[in-house]
Amino acid sequence: MKLRGLRLVTGLLLMLFVTGHMANLMLGMHSLAAMEHWRPWLMGPWRNPLLQGLLVCSALIHIALGLYSMSQRRSLAMSKTDVIQLCLGLVTPPLLLNHAVVMHMAGEVTPNFDATFGEFLAVYWSFSPGYALQQLCVVMVVWMHAAVGLYSWLVLKPLWKRIGGLVLPVLFAIPVLALIGFAEAGKEVVEKLANDPVWRAHITENLKKIVQVTDPLDALQARILLVYGLLVLSAAGVLLWRMLRDRAMVSVAYDEGFSARGRRGLSILELSLANDVPHAHVCSARGRCGTCRVHVEAGADALSPRSSFEAYTLARVGAGANDRLACQARVVGPAVAVTRVLPAYADASAARTPEEWATP
């Protein structure tokens, strides 16, 4: 569970950086000059070696933790949110790699290269628009990943009741405004390239520096991509191995006559999802929300022991002595009988205010 906390923190850090970047892009709606003027404030701090190191570490840790948690899955039965997050997360590094490598390495490989917005916008809008298309996809993918992550974390907090109405619109206004800024600034850059020969010469000169180092940068990217691909494949391999390892079958009997069958070692929630048993799971099996909790009627010793984290969540939502979190309790014995405590339509409010959903 500490790993999940770390993943959250690194994710938030990355999101902070992206938000600053986007805010800087928004200023393009005003002018290119405004973007450049605010750059030291919005993005400059991240050039500080300490923060830059922190950022790179965060990105690496976040990716590694994502891959690790993928490999630690026991089955493909997961919530829609998880599917979306997994897919978006997996495609982000390859899409973003180019931009990140050029930004961070160009300065170090080529002396006195100034990575201004004007420079990059000129590249994107005029010299090689292919990169721009890639970056636009990245904006969408990264921001959706971040928004889904932030939302599913915040929505469980009591705080959400007060700020929820504001957060969602802001979450979507940021990328939309940033993209509009990007388009407006692009228009300005294209005009400036056509009408300002001095500036154009400066940009081209600068560009030549980077073109010289394209080959080593490309080679670096290829190597990173290769490593990443291998990591993803090995994570998938571990997942496959875990799925095929134990093929003994167990069964769960629910209230209302539902029943589920599946491999031994799956959690009760995974068995529910795989067998079309309606079962609430607001936090997507993170063990945070407590909506999936079940009352164990029989076969309590067929379940994996309770972790301290599970006990904490159970205590927080005021669960009884025989209650378990279906997402944490794995079925290791042959059969177990449970009653779902909350209706399947329980939403995040059941996590925020468990007392309102307590069964009379």
Binding to another protein by residue 124, rule CB under 8 A? yes
Cα separations (Å) of 18 from 46, 238, 246, 258, 304?
A: 11, 31, 42, 45, 40
Cα separations (Å) of 46 from 53, 63, 98?
A: 9, 19, 18
Q: Which of 126, 251, 307, 339 binds another protein (CB under 8 A)?
A: 126
Binding to another protein by residue 190, rule CB under 8 A? yes
Binding to another protein by residue 91, rule CB under 8 A? no
Beta strand residue intervals within the chain, DSSP E:
249-253, 259-263, 293-298, 323-325, 335-340
Structure tokens at 47: 């050039």
CA dist., res. 30 & res. 41, Å (int): 17
Q: Which is nearer to another protein, 27 or 232 (CB)?
A: 27
Are 258 and 134 in contact by the 8 Å Cβ rule? The answer is no
Q: Which is nearer to another protein, 63 or 271 (CB)?
A: 271
To which H or E segment does residue 221 belong? helix 214-245
Binding to another protein by residue 187, rule CB under 8 A? yes
Q: Which of 159, 315, 343, 358 binds another protein (CB under 8 A)?
A: 343
Binding to another protein by residue 169, rule CB under 8 A? yes
Burial of 256 (0-12, 13-18, 19+ CB in 10 A): exposed
Q: Which of 8, 137, 213, 220 binds another protein (CB under 8 A)?
A: 137
Q: Which of 150, 183, 213, 224 binds another protein (CB under 8 A)?
A: 183
Q: Which of 256, 305, 308, 360 binds another protein (CB under 8 A)?
A: 256
User: Stretches 49-57, 136-144, 223-231, 316-324: which one binds another protein (CB under 8 A)?
Assistant: 136-144
CB of 226 to another protein, least distance (A): 27
CA dist., res. 271 & res. 91, Å (int): 28
* 210 Cβ contact partners less than 8 Å away, ≥ 6 residues apart: 102, 106, 110, 113
Query: What x-and-dash track marks residues 141-160 binding another protein by CB under 8 A?
Result: --xx----------------
- The closest of 131, 143, 19 to 89, measured between CA atoms, is 143
Q: Which of 29, 150, 168, 224 binds another protein (CB under 8 A)?
A: 168
CB of 64 to another protein, least distance (A): 28
Q: Which is nearer to another protein, 22 or 303 (CB)?
A: 22
Residue that the structure tokens 């721009």 belong to: 132
Put the strands of the sheet holding 323-325 in their side by side order: 259-263, 249-253, 335-340, 293-298, 323-325
Binding to another protein by residue 176, rule CB under 8 A? yes
In the complex, the residues that contact another protein under the rule CB under 8 A are 124-126, 128-130, 132-133, 136-137, 139-140, 143-144, 164, 168-169, 171-172, 175-176, 179-180, 182-183, 186-187, 190, 256, 276, 278, 280, 343-347
